[in-house]
């Protein structure tokens, strides 16, 4: 009965989200492209929220549109105090974001959005010495949350360009890059056989290595249309459905962006009836094609997420993904319906006609702690297989909790973050690695071109991570990070450990040129693939040029910028500028 009610709630949310198409004023129909997930904007907005100046970002549902980010900037401006205006960390972040989203702020004020913008051109050279790890599904990854870019020992290189444009409700984005990486050798025949037995497949194909990469690849490249509160997009797209730094449990940017059809509610709204007490809500739905699979080949994945802000200090989200279809599992109405609305384990048969797919239900939250509202936030991301929510089966729910301190007492430009993640559920249910990120029908289920779609803690793992950043300015920071990760002996024979220390230095030179440098030392021990401890060192240097070139389309000439509004509406949130009120 409880499960039935849960899915009625999800269905109600879907119908309500679609119904908002006709409920928003015509002036809110301007389309807007999404800010790339590796942008400096996300840590800046998150810090501004943790410092108490923002109340509307949904941290567990990214990416955000450029227009959404402009709304955050407007909210920050209207929340400034006299002390902030005299000079503060909050004011510094606000000014950088204000410059970044100046065109969208003009759009809010009444200007048009009919432009093509040349955003960035960038290049990154990365050198790896020693033997890295590149199999998060079994052992671990040396480079994480990097859009599934290939890497291996030696010189690795990328060079890319980003462009976006819009004309009224229509918008598009292009991000393409040249990628070079040395060939990754195959594991030994004995190791391949062991992994094949663990995964219960004829051959663990991801263990065969890969040839040299020397190609041009699209990243986030899509077209879309704005329909009132909703945006519909199609193309290659990245998602991050969690508030953690380590990466979402259900969908992270650790993979090459899949081709997907996506419907995203970009303007929050309250659900009707008693559900209005859950506060402003956002929803998102996608249907995507997966790549790199063999068991079975060419499956699809769909996902749904609903996030709520019942108070200004609490955000929580419920989500679900299902891997289904593929070779031998043809598309039928009945199979699609089961993938969306079936609950519980499939105990009768794994035949393609009755299997509902590999289903995962997620729950995440972000909470600013009482008495420390502008200092300390506690958050968690979790999921469980075959159950609608981790609340229904907490004993078999992998989790990733964390704490974020927005500034250290006496050192306002220094922050601190600590997280832990675990998928070590052997004692509860998982039977040696065949439960978390695994399915008896879809055996290589939760990967995309060999990289884990979820958190890189992997299967039967534990990870602990701590980081601290000193923010010279919102776009200039030094970050130090330490990570400790383990994999169990009853999953990988001999177990495994991975210890990583990393320093990242980001610096901008004016408004158009920026640099990112990273140095990382890693020591790992995995007896199955190497005798004794192994060391590797990674360093990269990335340069980015942002020409700030905006080409106006003819329609823009009919719009004139207006003065900043005294009252700004975002969903059911409203702010009034006290200066203009006077």
Q: What is the DSSP string of 407-436?
A: SBTTBTTEEEEEEEEE---IIIIITTTSST
Using 50, 70 and 90 to split pLDDT, how confident is the model at 561?
very low
At 53-103, the pLDDT tens digits run 898 999 999 999 999 999 999 999 888 887 777 778 889 999 999 999 988
Using 50, 70 and 90 to split pLDDT, how confident is the model at 165?
very high
Higher model confidence: residue 435 or residue 572? 435
Worst-scoring range by mean pLDDT, 204-213, 217-226, 227-236? 204-213
At 327-348, the pLDDT tens digits run 887 777 777 777 787 766 554 4
Higher model confidence: residue 537 or residue 16? 537
Q: What is the DSSP string of 334-399?
A: HHHHHHHH--S---S---TTT---EEEEEEEEEEEPTT-TTTEEEEEEEEEESSS-GGG-GGG--E
Question: Does the pLDDT value for residue 576 go beyond 80?
Answer: no
Does the domain formed by 2-552 have CATH 3.40.50.10490? no
Q: What is the pLDDT of residue 27?
A: 42
- The CA–CA distances, whole Å, from 209 to 296, 469, 551 equal 20, 36, 44
How far apart CA 170 and CA 233 sit, in angstroms, is 10
Mean pLDDT of the 188-202 span? 90
Question: Does the pLDDT value for residue 144 go beyond 80?
Answer: yes
Q: What is the pLDDT of residue 170?
A: 93
Mean pLDDT of the 189-204 span? 89
Question: Does the pLDDT value for residue 581 go beyond 70?
Answer: no
The overall average pLDDT reported for the chain is 86
Q: What is the pLDDT of residue 573?
A: 53
Question: Does the pLDDT value for residue 365 go beyond 80?
Answer: yes
At 503-525, the pLDDT tens digits run 999 999 988 999 999 999 999 99
Question: Does the pLDDT value for residue 281 go beyond 70?
Answer: yes
How far apart CA 361 and CA 248 sit, in angstroms, is 13
Higher model confidence: residue 375 or residue 353? 375
Question: Does the pLDDT value for residue 577 go beyond 60?
Answer: no
Using 50, 70 and 90 to split pLDDT, how confident is the model at 11?
low
Q: What is the pLDDT of residue 115?
A: 83
Question: Does the pLDDT value for residue 17 go beyond 60?
Answer: no
Which residues fall within 8 angstroms of residue 264, CB to CB, at 6 or more apart?
Answer: 230, 231, 233, 282, 283, 284, 285
Q: In this prediction, what percent of the chain has a pLDDT beyond 90?
A: 61
Higher model confidence: residue 113 or residue 243? 243
Q: What is the pLDDT of residue 6?
A: 47
Q: What is the pLDDT of residue 23?
A: 44
Higher model confidence: residue 205 or residue 488? 488
Of 131, 137, 104, 132, which Cα lies nearest the Cα of 119? 104
Using 50, 70 and 90 to split pLDDT, how confident is the model at 224?
very high
Percentages (nearest 5) of helix, strand, coil residues in the chain: 20, 40, 40
Question: Does the pLDDT value for residue 8 go beyond 90?
Answer: no
- Per-residue HEC secondary structure of 203-218 comes to CCHHHHCECCEEEEEE
Three-class SS state of 36: coil
Worst-scoring range by mean pLDDT, 74-83, 133-142, 256-265, 559-568? 559-568
For residue 389, how many C-alpha atoms fall within 13 Å in the half-sphere facing its CB? 17
Q: What is the pLDDT of residue 12?
A: 52
Three-class SS state of 516: strand
Q: What is the pLDDT of residue 582?
A: 39
Q: What is the pLDDT of residue 574?
A: 54
């Amino acid at each position: 009965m409880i499960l039935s009610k849960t899915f009625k709630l999800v269905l109600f949310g879907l119908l309500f989200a679609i119904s908002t198409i006709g409920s928003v004023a015509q002036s809110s129909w301007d389309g807007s492209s999404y800010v790339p997930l590796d942008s400096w904007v996300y840590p800046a907005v998150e810090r501004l929220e943790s410092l108490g100046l923002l109340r509307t970002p949904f941290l567990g549902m990214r990416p955000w549109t450029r227009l959404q980010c402009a709304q955050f900037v407007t909210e920050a401006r209207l929340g400034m105090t006299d002390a902030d205006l005299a000079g503060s960390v909050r004011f510094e972040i606000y000014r950088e974001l204000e410059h970044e989203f100046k065109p969208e702020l003009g759009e809010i004020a009444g200007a048009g959005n009919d432009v093509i913008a040349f955003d960035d051109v960038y290049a990154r050279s990365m050198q790896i010495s020693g033997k890295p790890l590149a199999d998060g599904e079994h052992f671990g990854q040396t480079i994480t949350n990097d859009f599934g870019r290939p890497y291996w020992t030696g010189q690795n290189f990328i060079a890319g360009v980003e462009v976006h444009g819009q004309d009224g409700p229509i918008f598009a984005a292009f991000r393409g890059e040249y990628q070079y990486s040395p060939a990754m050798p195959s594991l030994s025949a004995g190791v391949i056989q062991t992994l094949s037995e663990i995964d219960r497949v004829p051959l663990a194909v991801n263990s065969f290595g890969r040839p040299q990469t020397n190609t041009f690849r699209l990243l986030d490249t899509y077209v879309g249309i704005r329909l009132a509160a909703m945006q519909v997009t199609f193309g290659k797209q990245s998602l991050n459905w969690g508030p953690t730094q380590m990466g979402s449990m259900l969908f992270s940017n650790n993979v090459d962006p899949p081709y997907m059809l996506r419907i995203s509610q970009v303007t929050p709204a309250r659900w009707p009836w008693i559900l209005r007490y859950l506060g402003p809500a956002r929803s998102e739905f996608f249907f995507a094609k997966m790549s790199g699979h063999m068991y079975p080949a060419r499956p699809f994945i769909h996902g749904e997420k609903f996030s709520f802000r019942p108070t200004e200090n609490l955000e929580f989200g419920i989500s679900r993904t299902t891997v289904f279809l593929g070779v031998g599992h043809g598309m039928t109405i009945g199979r699609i319906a089961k993938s969306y609305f079936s609950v519980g384990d499939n105990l009768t048969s794994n035949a393609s006609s009755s299997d509902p797919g590999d289903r995962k239900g997620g729950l995440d939250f972000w909470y600013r702690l009482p008495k420390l509202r502008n200092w300390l936030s506690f958050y968690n991301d979790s999921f469980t297989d075959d159950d609608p929510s981790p609340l229904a089966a907490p004993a078999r729910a992998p989790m990733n909790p964390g704490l974020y301190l927005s500034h250290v007492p006496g050192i306002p430009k220094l922050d601190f973050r600590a997280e832990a993640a675990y998928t070590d559920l052997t004692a509860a249910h998982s039977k040696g690695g065949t439960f978390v990120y695994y399915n008896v029908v879809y055996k290589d289920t939760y990967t995309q071109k060999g990289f884990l779609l979820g958190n890189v803690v992997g299967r039967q793992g534990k990870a602990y991570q701590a980081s601290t950043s000193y923010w010279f300015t919102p776009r200039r920071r030094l970050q130090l990070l330490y990570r400790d990760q383990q994999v169990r002996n009853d999953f990988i024979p001999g177990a495994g450990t991975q210890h990583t220390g990393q320093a990242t230095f980001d610096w901008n030179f004016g408004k158009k040129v920026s640099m990112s440098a990273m140095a990382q030392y890693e020591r790992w021990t995995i007896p199955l693939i190497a005798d004794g401890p192994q060391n590797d060192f990674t360093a990269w240097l990335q340069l980015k040029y942002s020409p700030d070139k905006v080409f106006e389309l003819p329609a823009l000439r009919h719009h004139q910028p207006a003065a900043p509004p005294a009252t700004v509406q975002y969903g059911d949130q409203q702010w009034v500028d006290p200066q203009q009120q006077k």
